[in-house]
Amino acid sequence: MTKYLKGWLMPALSALMMWGISHGGWWMWAPWAFVLTVFLSADMFLPHDLSEPPKYQNAFLLNLPLYTILPLLAVLNFMVIWMVGSGDFLGFGAWVQQHLDIDLFAARDRTTHWGMWAGCIVSVGLMNAVGGTVTGHELTHRSSKFDLFMGRWMLAFTCDTSFGIEHVYGHHVRVATPADPATGRRGESFYKFTVRSTIMSYVHAYQLEKARLAKLGKSVWNPFASPFLRGNLENIFMFVAAYYIAGLPGLGFWAILAFVGKQYLEITNYFEHYGLVRVPGEPVQPRHSWNSNHWGSTNVLYSLARHSHHHAEGEAPYWTLNAYPNAPMLPAGYLGMLLIALVPPLFKHLMTPALNDWDEKHASPAERKLAQQISRESGMTGLKIINAKLA
């Protein structure tokens, strides 16, 4: 049964985050500090996870931790927005105090400094991303109506339900080409990338759904036929709920939370395919994604870090993904790359040798030719193809 336990690392992280946030004050930073310390330590000091997927007989036990994420996120975010307000919406605080012996009123009273709330934002925003988006990503790749329902509601915690459309039917088709807004380009900083990716991914999702439904004689604005519109209504619902729970402060706080959670996703998008190229129309191969077999990134994030296999077989459940040790590798685990990407000079310094290695060892002849042109236009220094061309 131990092989079924790693799926519960994410729900356990959610519960620990609720415990930290429920104390209020500077404890709001505790979840972020915990994740930073434990996650980075696991990636840095534990051996890389090169294990091949064991034989599983019970898919329900592997799916169950995925399904628990939605109610956990709902409770976590409800609690946070409740703490932003001043009343006791639905008697939530009194119920928690009576049944769980946790004094949320005192926690709210001791949260008096903007820096405390900043800790709450980065902590809960991270949970909405690694819990909501990572799990929602897994579920929206499936065809089950229940899985799609759960997955898209999880994506609503970052106000990004269109991701379930664009990622599956757009990104997986266009990855590593100029047509894909979620592929970071050589020389492009995260701050430029996130604007382009956020806007154009949403536009692409709309275009994909409009074209699909037009073939069926239906409108993209029909909520009974259009997952795109239903997703937008789910996003709006979250804002309305925040307003009813805590008024305008709750509404504003939720907007910030959703924005921060979305940025965590975009940073991940940024480094997962940064600088990689593919000839449009050619099959997507494991070499078109940066892989990571760091222990924490693999086991906490439902094997998302085994990204090369994921793109080679997008519909494969997380517990079947292989390590692909010969795929192109990130220089650090996912949380490490997330922090590094926020510092463009450092990110480029680490990714330049990785790109040189990819051009030399992984690119096809046609891709190497494309990479040479793109490298020259990027303005990045240190790329061997640029130097060879100029010589």
pLDDT digits (tens, 9 = 90+) for 223-270: 999 999 999 999 999 999 999 999 999 999 999 999 999 999 999 999
Rounded to 5 degrees, what angle do the CA atoms 317, 320, 322 make? 125
Rounded mean pLDDT of 36-45?
Answer: 94
Rounded mean pLDDT of 293-315?
Answer: 95
Rounded mean pLDDT of 265-286?
Answer: 97
Rounded mean pLDDT of 30-34?
Answer: 95
pLDDT value, residue 3 = 67
pLDDT band at 390 (very low <50, low <70, confident <90, very high): very low
Asked whether the predicted pLDDT for residue 391 surpasses 50, the reply is no
Collapsing DSSP to helix, strand or coil, 371 comes out as helix
Stated pTM of the model? 0.94
More confident residue, 5 or 184: 184
Q: Is-contact 35 94, C-beta < 8 A?
A: no
pLDDT value, residue 1 = 56
pLDDT value, residue 243 = 98
Asked whether the predicted pLDDT for residue 63 surpasses 90, the reply is yes
* Six token digits for residue 187: 């020389």
Positive or negative, the CA dihedral 35, 37, 40, 45 is: negative
User: Looking at 18-27, 181-190, 281-290, 378-387, which range is the least confident one?
Assistant: 378-387
pLDDT value, residue 58 = 84
Query: DSSP letter at 288?
Result: G
| Residue range of the domain that includes 313 | 2-390
Query: DSSP letter at 53?
Result: P
Give the count of domains, the chain. 1
Rounded to 5 degrees, what angle do the CA atoms 329, 50, 42 make? 80
Q: Max CA-CA distance within the chain? A: 75
CA 157 to chain centre: 11
CA atoms within 13 A on the CB side of 45: 6
**Cα(135)–Cα(98) distance, rounded to whole angstroms?**
32
Among 93, 90, 91, residue whose Cα is nearest residue 106: 93
pLDDT value, residue 388 = 44
